[in-house]
Amino acid sequence: MVAYTVVIPAAGRGKRMGADANKLMLTLRDKPIIAWTLQAFDTDPWCERMVLAIRPEERDWFEAMTSQMKTPVTYVAGGEERQQSVHAGLKVVAPDTIVMIHDGARPFVKREQLHQVAEAALQGGAILAVPVKDTVKQVQRHHIERTVPRENLWLAQTPQAFQAKAILAAHERAVEQQVMGTDDASLFEWLGESVQVVLGDYHNIKMTTPEDLLFGDAILAKEELQ
């Protein structure tokens, strides 16, 4: 067993989702997206604590939504950017623990994947990812410049797991040097640290656009039949 804390940035807006409020509050099968996400961690005995980076004005909603969960929840004020929210969450995590960083809009991560990435993080950084399936084209001004070999291309997912002290140091160095990473692993890589890839699941999608709500409903329907 590898005990861990999870940091979940939950202060974003739903611009690409077409929502005028926090997209995590949108419902999927009559339950908010963020509730599905938190359920994966609340039911995992390896998860000791959940840290949510939120907008202060939405705290009452989040507290009501998590009131029946058994895993302790800590709230911090999120920032305008995801990286700022993660940094705020990392500041309240014990430095000697494994910390996972997970998108609030990825509600379908499986417990087996959580355990695999937690165990991998004992040796350094670790992320879930899946191989690219489609042919990839590099395009400039709507014209193909080249076809990119896909054999070594993977799509990064979350959670991404690290020793808490190490990833906090990466975030603080990024603040000092005004570096914005594409994800938390990219900041770890920027410091020259190694990040291991753990095979994820194509169902572990990020709810980003209105179409993703349809995909999410289909995923839940498939799980009900299994």
Alpha carbon distance 179, 167 (integer Å): 14
Residue ranges per structural domain of the chain: 4-127+158-225
Fold observed for domain 4-127+158-225? Spore Coat Polysaccharide Biosynthesis Protein SpsA; Chain A (3.90.550)
Q: What is the mean pLDDT of the chain?
A: 94
Alpha carbon distance 33, 102 (integer Å): 13
pLDDT, one tens digit per residue, over 149-201 is 999 999 999 999 999 999 999 999 999 999 999 999 999 999 999 999 999 99
* pLDDT given at position 209: 86
* pLDDT given at position 223: 79
* pLDDT given at position 20: 64
pLDDT, one tens digit per residue, over 124-145 is 999 999 999 999 999 999 999 9
Band the pLDDT of 83: cuts 50, 70, 90. Answer: very high
